[in-house]
Amino acid sequence: MATKIFKIDSQWHKKEQYPFLEIENGKVFEIDNQWHKRVEYPFIEIVNDEIYRVETQWHKKEQYPFFEIVNSKVFRIDKQWHRKEQYPFLEFESGKVFNIDSQWHRKEQYPFVEVENGNFFDINSQWHKKEQYPFVEIEGGFSIANLVVILKQTGRL
């Protein structure tokens, strides 16, 4: 069964009627806005905590991933050498998502997103508290790789 990801309407704070993404067997599909069905081919594929783009012409995953997850830390993959960067840029801890400071390579003191019961909440940057309403809701199970894709697709990364 596919995991469905719904945006939350920012004005009324209700889950939209149709999902905007579906994830099934590591493949991430967009949902067509007009017909509300998932497109035929995935645009991202997740394999063993590596996140790959899928070529638009041949619909095959690219040879090298663009993100890799190791022990709840997310690393970018260097485009030229196809190696994991030395320091992560994100860290997940107990449902909270933290940026990693690019200069000191330490987890920032406050998270920027919190995930609770399948709901994604922004964290207020001034007061460091969870916003009252979520911006995304997930129906179904999810992994850290799924969370990374969702954050990327919602413009949080």
Domain count, the chain: 1
pTM beyond 0.75: yes
Exposure string for 129-138, b = 16+ CB within 10 A, e = fewer: ebeeebbbbb
pLDDT of residue 120: 94
pLDDT tens for the 157 residues of the chain, in order: 789 999 998 888 899 999 999 999 999 999 998 888 899 999 999 999 999 999 988 889 999 999 999 999 999 999 888 899 999 999 999 999 999 998 888 999 999 999 999 999 999 888 889 999 999 999 988 899 999 999 999 988 8
pLDDT of residue 35: 87
3-state secondary structure the chain: CCEEEEEECCCCCCECCCCCEEEECCEEEEECCCCCCECCCCCEEEECCEEEEECCCCCCECCCCCEEEECCEEEEECCCCCCECCCCCEEEECCEEEEECCCCCCECCCCCEEEECCEEEEECCCCCCECCCCCEEEECCCCHHHHHHHHHHCCCC
For residues 105 and 22, what is the distance between their CA atoms, to the nearest angstrom? 33
For residues 48 and 131, what is the distance between their CA atoms, to the nearest angstrom? 32
> Are 53 and 43 spatial neighbours (Cβ–Cβ below 8 Å)?
yes
pLDDT of residue 157: 84
pLDDT of residue 98: 95
Residue 93 has which token pair?
A: 């801890």
Burial of 141 (0-12, 13-18, 19+ CB in 10 A): exposed
Instruction: Tell me which residue range forms the domain holding 126.
Output: 3-153
